[in-house]
Amino acid sequence: MQHSKAMIWTGRTMSGLVILFMIFDVTIKYLDLPIVEQTGIPLGLPAHSARGLAVMETVILLIYVWPRTAVLGAILFTGLFGATMAIHWRVGDPIFSHILFGFYLALLAWGGLWLRDARLRALMPVTSS
């Protein structure tokens, strides 16, 4: 039982890191901070596209936070993070700090969900061969 509680809390912590990062990300986009446009233009994002991205990310975040739809949220986050990886790769950004950042977030999102949801662990068991 103790192992199970540790897994759940580790999963909540991992998911919480993703949630906190996404809250930060959508907040700076909703506030239309200059840094958002300054970093988006070199990536090929149109000026003033931040608000639309923030709405999309907020919807995905709400889907991920709601327990009944968390798996769908993780799937949608995977698409979002994969797209950000492709954008960073296209412009030649550094691999470990920029390109793989989306991969790190996806690992946290899925890992956190897997640790805190027994149904997902049953669907995708980790076995030793």
Instruction: Encode the chain (129 residues) as per-residue pLDDT tens digits.
Output: 456 899 999 999 999 999 999 999 999 999 999 999 999 999 999 989 999 999 999 999 999 999 999 999 999 999 999 999 999 999 999 999 999 999 999 999 999 999 999 999 999 998 877
Residue 56 counted as domain residue = yes
Residue 128 counted as domain residue = no
How many structural domains does the chain have? 1
pLDDT of residue 2: 56
Residue 36 counted as domain residue = yes
CA R_g for the chain: 16
Task: Report yes or no: 105 and 3 within 8 Å, Cβ to Cβ.
Answer: no
Q: What is the pTM of this model?
A: 0.93
Residue 127 counted as domain residue = no
Q: Which two tokens stand for residue 35?
A: 């840094």
Closest by Cα among 41, 55, 52, 36 to 87: 41
What residue numbers bound the domain in which 78 lies? 2-122
Task: Report yes or no: 23 and 62 within 8 Å, Cβ to Cβ.
Answer: no
Angle CA 103–105–109, to nearest 5: 115
Residue 129 counted as domain residue = no
